[in-house]
């Protein structure tokens, strides 16, 4: 290779490298767009939104009335329920101090329970959806600023009747809010069912009841992640969102974990002690194993009463001073409750009271022990006949945990008289 050829080659090679190292200006790095700040404007409370809506509603007198925000304004609240579990779809609820409201979202997701948010209201529409106030077409990206997270709302404890009460000023104060209802259970007819029909994705209602027979439905979407779970059979508390749909109240569950029905159903119990006195000898002084039929004063005893159809125990006075005890065997109390029935008659001063003692030794001499009177309804009766059988009501014995005795003490002063029946003494655990 000649020198000049080499030189030429190297020149060409240099040129070639330049050709190949052509750097095109193909975009690789992209500038971030400027931050788009969502303004605040006038600040409303949720109650203000209700008031704003009411003014439109009263003017137009129709449920289809709407109000569109046209100025910069915002409402601050905490998301109380999101659509993550699938029980809501494109929807969320939020609440501030005293009120709650539904948000209808343009797309699902993006808002989470506990998010403290500013909702920029401009161009949003306030309207009613099946009787419930709703902020419509909320765009999570355009209308919402998250201020803080994990601000969980303490649910307000209410009863079913509290919940459904119509308040003259606030209307329905609990609408759209998270509430906690204690001591409820699903009705018998619901047991064995799932929350909803997850197979066919159908929304279903399950009725709850409380001890007074008040009811309210739990409504669950077929798309909810827990739709295919069986409803719990027990009784207890539920935390849920109070919804209102075409005049009917309904509870919406956020998480199945907030349905805490781990107590026995109403009426279900474990018997610690029961005395129904079946087969007792009629007219004979009660003499049952471990029971005491103790005459502290006077000579009358508790007697068996058995007419072949019903068996019970009774005591009747003799116009003299008497203090006669009927004391149960020792019972172990651990949060147990007591119920019994009594019936009084021909009462001219005689009294019957129920007591409990933790220090009685079970051996006669009841007066040596400490007895606490129990608050029970005792049957009363007129002077010349019998009254009705009376339920004592459920008496909580939780304060007397440990070994205890329950006693029924009949007392008359001289010149007083009266009869009492006692039956169905039940110490039970719920």
Partner 1 sequence: MKKGILILTALLITIIGFAQEADTLPQKSPEIPVITLTDSELDEDNQSQDISGLLSSSTDVYVNIAGYTFGQARFRIRGYDNQNTYVLIDGIYVNDAETGRPYYGNWGGLNEVMRNKVVSPGLAFSDYSFGGIGGVTNIITRPSQQRAGTSISYASANKSYRNRAMFSHSTGLMDNGWAFTLSGSSRWAEEGYVQGSFYEAYSYFIGAEKKINDKHSIALTFYGSPSRRGKTGVGTAEVYELTGDNFYNPNWGYQNGVMRNAKVGTFHQPRTMLSHYWQIDPTMKLTTSVSYAAGRAGSTALNWYDAADPRPDYYRNLPSYYEEGEFMYDYLTEMWQNSETFRQLDWDSFYHANRKNLYTVEDVGGEEGVDITGNRAKFIIEDRRYDLNRIDFATLFSKELNEKTKLITGINYLSSKTHNYKLVEDLLGADWWLDIDQFAERDNADDVYIIQSDVSNPNNVVYEGELFGYDYVTNITKSSAFAQAETKLEHIDLFAGVDVSYTEFWRTGNMRNGKFPANSYGNSPTYKFLNYGVKGGANVKITGRNFVLLNAAYLTRAPFVRDAFVSPRTRHDVVDNLTSEKIYTGDISYFYRSPYVQAKITGFYTQFTDGLQSSSFYHDELRTFVNYAMTGVNKTHYGAELGIEAKLTSTFTATFATGYGKYLYSSRPSVTIAQDNSSEVLAENRTVYIKNYHVGSMPEYAASIGGKYYAPKYWFVGLNANYFAESYININPEKHTAEALNIFVTDDPQVEPILEQEKLDPGYTFDIWGGKSWRIEDYTIGFTLSINNILDNTDLITNGYEQYRFDQNDIDKFPNKYFHLYGRSYFLNVYFRF
In the complex with partner 1, which residue's Cβ is closer, 84 or 265? 84
For the stretch 166-174, contacts whose Cβ atoms lie closer than 8 Å and that sit 24 or more positions apart, written own/partner, are 170/47, 170/50, 170/98, 170/99, 171/50, 172/244, 173/98, 173/99, 174/100, 174/242
> β-strand 235-245 against 178-186: which pairing, if any?
antiparallel
| Euclidean distance between CA atoms 288 and 328, whole angstroms | 9
Q: Is residue 166 part of the contact set for partner 1 (CB under 8 A)?
A: no
Tokens encoding 369: 């022990």
Q: How many other CB atoms are there within 10 angstroms of residue 345's CB atom?
A: 21
In the complex with partner 1, which residue's Cβ is closer, 118 or 357? 118
Select from 20, 70, 189, 279 the one that contacts partner 1 (CB under 8 A).
Answer: 20
Select from 46, 77, 133, 144 the one that contacts partner 1 (CB under 8 A).
Answer: 144
- Based on its alpha-carbon atoms, the radius of gyration of the chain, rounded to whole angstroms, reads 37
Select from 45, 149, 417, 429 the one that contacts partner 1 (CB under 8 A).
Answer: 149
Least distance to partner 1, CB of residue 173, Å:
29
Stretch that binds partner 1, among 64-72, 105-113, 152-160, 386-394 (CB under 8 A): 105-113
Select from 168, 257, 267, 279 the one that contacts partner 1 (CB under 8 A).
Answer: 257
Select from 45, 66, 84, 298 the one that contacts partner 1 (CB under 8 A).
Answer: 84
Q: Is residue 200 part of the contact set for partner 1 (CB under 8 A)?
A: no
Select from 3, 4, 30, 213 the one that contacts partner 1 (CB under 8 A).
Answer: 30
Least distance to partner 1, CB of residue 86, Å:
6
| Euclidean distance between CA atoms 217 and 205, whole angstroms | 6
Q: Is residue 85 part of the contact set for partner 1 (CB under 8 A)?
A: yes
| Euclidean distance between CA atoms 288 and 373, whole angstroms | 23
Q: Is residue 27 part of the contact set for partner 1 (CB under 8 A)?
A: yes
Tokens encoding 294: 């103790």
Beta bridge partners of 175: none
Q: Is residue 106 part of the contact set for partner 1 (CB under 8 A)?
A: yes
In the complex with partner 1, which residue's Cβ is closer, 108 or 417? 108
| CA-to-CA dists, residue 41 to 108, 154, 326, 419, angstroms | 26, 29, 76, 78
Give the binding site for partner 1 (CB under 8 A): 9, 12-13, 15-28, 30-36, 38, 84-86, 106-110, 112, 115, 140-142, 144-150, 225-226, 255-257
């Amino acid at each position: 290779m000649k020198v000049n050829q080499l030189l030429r080659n190297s020149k060409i090679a240099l040129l070639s490298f330049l050709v190949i190292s052509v750097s095109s200006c193909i975009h690789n790095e992209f500038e971030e767009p400027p931050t788009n700040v969502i303004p605040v404007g006038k600040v409303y409370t949720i109650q203000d939104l209700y008031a704003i809506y009411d003014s439109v509603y009263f003017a137009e007198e129709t449920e289809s009335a709407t109000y569109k925000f046209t100025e910069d304004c915002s409402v601050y609240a905490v998301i109380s329920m999101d659509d993550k579990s699938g029980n809501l779809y494109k929807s969320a609820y939020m609440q501030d101090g005293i009120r709650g409201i539904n948000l209808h979202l343009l797309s699902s997701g993006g808002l989470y329970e506990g998010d403290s948010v500013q909702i920029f209201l401009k161009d949003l529409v306030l309207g009613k959806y099946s009787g419930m106030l709703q902020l419509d077409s909320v765009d999570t990206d355009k209308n919402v600023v998250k201020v803080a997270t994990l601000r969980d709302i303490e649910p307000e404890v209410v009863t079913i009747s509290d919940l459904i009460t119509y308040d003259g000023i606030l209307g329905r104060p609990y609408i759209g809010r998270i509430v906690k209802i204690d001591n409820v259970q699903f009705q018998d007819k619901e047991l064995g069912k799932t929350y909803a029909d997850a197979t066919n994705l159908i929304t279903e209602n399950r009725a709850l009841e409380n001890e007074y027979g008040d009811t309210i439905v739990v409504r669950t979407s077929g798309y909810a992640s827990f739709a295919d779970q069986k409803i719990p059979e027990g009784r207890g508390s539920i935390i849920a969102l109070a919804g209102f749909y075409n005049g009917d109240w309904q509870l919406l569950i956020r998480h199945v974990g907030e349905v805490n029905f781990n107590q026995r159903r109403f009426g279900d119990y474990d018997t610690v002690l029961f005395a129904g006195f079946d087969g007792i000898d009629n007219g004979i002084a009660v003499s049952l194993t471990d029971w005491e039929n103790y005459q502290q004063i006077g000579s009358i005893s508790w007697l068996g009463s058995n007419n072949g159809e019903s068996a019970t125990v009774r005591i009747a006075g003799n116009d003299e001073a008497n203090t006669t005890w009927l004391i149960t065997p020792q019972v172990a109390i651990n949060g147990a409750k007591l119920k019994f029935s009594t019936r009084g008659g021909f009462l001219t001063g005689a009294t019957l009271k129920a007591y409990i003692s933790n220090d009685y030794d079970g051996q006669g001499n009841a007066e040596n022990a400490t007895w606490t009177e129990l608050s029970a309804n005792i049957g009363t009766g007129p002077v010349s006949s019998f009254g009705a059988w009376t339920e004592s009501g459920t008496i909580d014995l939780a304060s007397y945990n440990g070994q205890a005795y329950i006693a029924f003490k009949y007392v008359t002063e001289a010149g007083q008289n009266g009869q009492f029946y006692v039956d169905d003494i039940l110490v039970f655990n719920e």
